Amino acid sequence: MTIEQTLQELTAQAVKTLYNLTIDPHTVTVNDTPKNFVGSYTVVVFPYTKAAAKNPEQVGKEIGQYLTDNLVFAQDFNVVKGFVNIELTNAYWLQTFTHIIHHENYGQAPASGKKIALEYIGPNTNKPLHLGHIRNMFVGHAVAAILQANGHEVHKVNIYNDKGINISKSMAAWVHAGNGATPQSAGLKGDHFVGYYYVLYNKIATQQAAPYREQGMEPLEAEKLTPIYALAQQFTQEWEQGKPSVRQLWQTMNGWVYEGFAETFNMLGISYEKAYYESECYELGKKLVLEGLANGAFFAKPDGSVWADFTNEGLDQKVLIRNDGTSVYITQDIGVADLRYHDFTPDQLIYVVGDEQIYHFKVLKLTLQKLGKPYANLIYHLYYGMVDLPEGKMKSREGKVVDADDLIAEMLQTAEEQTRELGKTEGMNPHQAQQLYKILGLGALKYFILKVNAQKRLLFNPRESIDLQGHTAPFIQYSYARIRSILRKFNQNFLLPNYPINHLHPQEIDLITEISRFRQAIHTAAETYDPSVIANYAFTLAKSFNKLYADLSVLNNPDEQTNTFRVALAYTTARTLKNALHLLGIDVPERM
């Protein structure tokens, strides 16, 4: 039982004993005591003032005294309005640290038995990965790692949106102007090559639509009258009809894209257990929709299209199969959900997808409910906000996308420039220096994105993200490297000494306190699907260590016992920082 759980149990006992009120211990709020107050943990007692018929401060004093009398490690307490701050003894913190240092995987929970299928990445195969995909990948990868650390069995999956009008547009532009070019002949990554033709399609369509737009027609309506659009539409229909030549071109161009994606995934450390493809799932989705039509869950309009009616749920009607028999995006997701449920029999289906798809996932869940599927209510949409650069919103349709590969290259270059300026590569050979730039550059990118709650819109600043003195990954990574340097100087295997309780310095207690909070940070991050909890925890821990390092000597104390104890503190801090950053997909340098 954790100290927080113990305080919850004792508070429930206090409320029963003092005020004859029975409460669920889990409803007791226990927080870390804020830095500007004396105490280790804070119990909120406002909810019990009515039963006690006393003011919050009186209730706080009575409950605080009960907790102090009945908790062996409670040293003292103080009350601030309806908050009871409990101060724990040095003996408690020394025992806590002894436990932590002997548990290499401290913070990780035992197996929960819960299975989760988590979908992330989800790119279209008509263009390269961009900054929005980067946020998706980092959030999904981190949430999966955090859920695993919290004891859950997680299956990471990807969905490739590999069919439909968008890839047909790239195909149409390639047929129109490609002259048999390949990524190799053009000297481009496969995804960039196909993305070039997607952008080219829009340029061609804009030129062909100009006469119609000059007559006052809306751009999208004008586009539908162009020859290039007609060709793309033809490819879409012929693909569904299974025309061999169209299928072959589609397979070739998608193959180029997958090769390009794989390079980016490898650079970023992104992986998944299984990939699903829209082209392989939409038929199952159509089959399930037609079953729903047959049993009255859906309805057909006179033109033959199939619809679901969600007006009773406060939404609108949604087309599931078009009048020409082709599927829509949600048809694919119906099939994917069914396949994924039978592949993994999960207790939860998490989808990491941007907030522009909130409506889509409401409709998906309602559609599956109308079909009577047992997994309908297992769906959880973990959405994230738009990522902007100082220049403004990304527009992939106009070719103004913030390309993932370009951004990665910029981050590595920025890391190299700033690291060289600070002289952090002295004594390194070229290979070691390049590895350091990669660790710092990618770490800065991942951390800057993950330190902000995913649901908030984010303005990404590459240079700010790499500041060694800021709220950044390089600051945390440098703290880790500093500790590794201390350990090399200590140059011996240390055993935790039998440290006198009265020797504990307040800053040592502060650092032990921060290290001990790692377990709760993992639990909170897992419960809220929020990697920023871990990111901000790592930053706070690094700051706590750096304060101790600045104020107290680690290696140059008169007695060896203090040196050894503080080296043990430093070692455990480094291990915790490494484990925390690992959950975010961030590496740490041994030297810097």
Q: What digits encode the pLDDT tens for the residues 12-65?
A: 999 999 999 999 999 999 999 998 999 999 999 999 999 999 999 999 999 999
**3.40.50.1860, 1.10.730.10, 3.30.460.80, 3.40.50.620: which CATH number matches 404-583?**
1.10.730.10
- In angstroms, the CA 301 to CA 289 distance is 14
Say yes or no to pLDDT of 373 above 70: yes
CA distance 135 to 410: 16
pLDDT given at position 468: 81
Question: Can you list the pairs that 392-398 forms with residues at least 24 positions away whose Cβ atoms lie under 8 Å?
Answer: 394/130, 394/131, 394/132, 396/127, 396/130, 397/202, 398/199, 398/202
Res 372 pLDDT > 80: yes
502-505: long-range contacts, CB 8 A cutoff, minimum separation 24: 502/90, 503/561, 503/562, 503/565, 504/90, 504/93, 504/94, 505/552
Question: Phi first, then psi: what are they for 426, rounded to 5°?
Answer: -60, 135
Task: Read off the pLDDT band of 494 (50, 70, 90).
Answer: low
DSSP code for 427: T
Coil, helix or strand for 135?
A: helix
What is the architecture of the domain spanning 3-88? 2-Layer Sandwich (3.30)
Residue 109 identity (one-letter amino acid): A
Give the least confident one: 162-166, 193-197, 230-234, 585-589: 162-166
- Residue 461 or 11, more confident: 11
pLDDT tops 80 at residue 261: yes
**Region 406-414 average pLDDT:** 92
Residue 361's identity, in one-letter code, is: F
Residue 268: pLDDT band (50, 70, 90) is very high
Residue 550 has pLDDT above 90, yes or no: yes
**Which tens digit of pLDDT belongs to each residue from 135-147?**
999 999 999 999 9
Per-residue confidence at 400, pLDDT binned at 50, 70, 90? low
Are 44 and 34 in contact by the 8 Å Cβ rule? The answer is no
Task: In whole angstroms, give the CA distance from residue 44 to residue 47.
Answer: 8
- Judged against a pLDDT cut of 70, whether residue 398 lies above it is answered with no
pLDDT at position 423: 85
Which one, of 161, 180, 7, lies nearest residue 86 by Cα? 7
Whether the predicted pLDDT of 321 surpasses 80: yes
* Element of type H or E holding 319: strand 317-321
Residues 545 and 479: their CA atoms lie apart, in Å, by 8
Q: What does the domain layout of the chain look like in residue ranges?
A: 3-88, 162-271, 404-583
Residue 352 bridge partners (DSSP)? 382
Neighbour count for residue 355 (Cβ, 10 Å): 14
> Do 537 and 65 contact (CB within 8 A), yes or no?
no
